[in-house]
Amino acid sequence: MGLQIESDITCSVCLNTSGNTLLFDVNDYKVYECSFCSHQFLSEHSESKSSIYEDSYFEGCFEGGYEETIERRKNDFREIAKILLFYLNKTTNKTILEVGCASGGMLDVLKNEVGINAEGLDISKYSSELARKKGHTVYCTHFLDYKAHKQDDVVLFTDSFEHFRDVRMVVEKTYEILKNEGLITIVLPNHSSFSAKIYREYFKDYAPPYHLNFFTMRSICFLLKKYGFGILAIEFPYFESQWFNKEELQKLGRDLIDYDMGKTFDHNQPAFWGNVMIVIAKK
């Protein structure tokens, strides 16, 4: 299999146009890899219009419904909160803005369990309303249209950053609305993980048109540093999660045997260490 090099394809992180290669097609979208910063991205970017995040997105695309998924995910949210608090100097009252808060599962943990002042922002009216019903303050807008009335100590993206098309503008905006020494915290799929390399297009987070940018450890660090952030840590939540179990590991084991026998995959990857990363960087 030869590499197909495209000369007019621009990397959405570093703007390099030279030597970028076509990796594969997913759902009829072409996924490219930057030859400079290793970022992976779509050629024809679909806008993250609010229309694709209406009721059906939050009700239909999760087994058992979105709300049930959120309840099951509370343990993951607790782990993220624990890691974030480790890096947050909590000597004074801190404020967090969660971008892409959906129906407020993470806000529940931050506000009700950790006792930190957290607000949310979401493009979907439907999920903003759900979060407000739980007592949360939610700004219903696209992040780039958000008119900040204050600066926050933390801007948190939990599974939302990869949904943005203009990731450079998102980082620039985050820098503006953070206090000095504030933290950007991004929880996102790791497209340089062991599983992403083995499963390739079957790594489930190649999910256009919802996911528009596919970050590697290198490309997310490159992006944050470019806009003035200092990287504090990359963490890989897994061992504390519900996903670290015998069944998932057995699935992976069977797949690795198939892989070694030269078979190609027809299904997504099981959970494994490194698939999800939490990047914490300081202004």
The site for Zn ion (CB under 5 A) is made up of 11, 13-14, 16, 34, 36-37, 39
Please, which residue, 226 or 282, has the CB nearer to Zn ion? 226
Residue 277 C-beta: closest distance to Zn ion, Å: 18
d(CA 151, CA 97): 9
Residue 33 C-beta: closest distance to Zn ion, Å: 9
Q: Contact 184/278 with Cβ under 8 angstroms? A: no
Q: Contact 278/108 with Cβ under 8 angstroms? A: no
Please, which residue, 12 or 269, has the CB nearer to Zn ion? 12
CA distance readout (Å), 186 to 22, 115, 263, 271? 26, 20, 34, 19
Q: Which of 67, 279, 52 is nearest to 184 (CA)?
A: 279
CA distance readout (Å), 165 to 49, 56, 148, 209? 10, 21, 21, 10
Structure tokens at 43: 């050629």
Q: Which helix (H) or strand (E) holds 83?
A: helix 66-87
Structure tokens at 238: 């897994």
Please, which residue, 9 or 156, has the CB nearer to Zn ion? 9
Residue 7 C-beta: closest distance to Zn ion, Å: 14
Residue type for position 182: G
Residue 63 C-beta: closest distance to Zn ion, Å: 35
Q: Which of 282, 276, 217, 214 is nearest to 12 (CA)?
A: 214
d(CA 33, CA 230): 24
Question: Is the preceding omega at residue 209 within 30 degrees of 0, hence cis?
Answer: yes
Please, which residue, 12 or 275, has the CB nearer to Zn ion? 12
Residue 39 C-beta: closest distance to Zn ion, Å: 4
Residue 32 C-beta: closest distance to Zn ion, Å: 10
Please, which residue, 15 or 257, has the CB nearer to Zn ion? 15
Residue 9 C-beta: closest distance to Zn ion, Å: 10
Contacting residues for 60 by C-beta, under 8 A, at least 6 apart: none
Residue 220 C-beta: closest distance to Zn ion, Å: 11
Please, which residue, 39 or 94, has the CB nearer to Zn ion? 39
Please, which residue, 16 or 43, has the CB nearer to Zn ion? 16
Please, which residue, 116 or 223, has the CB nearer to Zn ion? 223
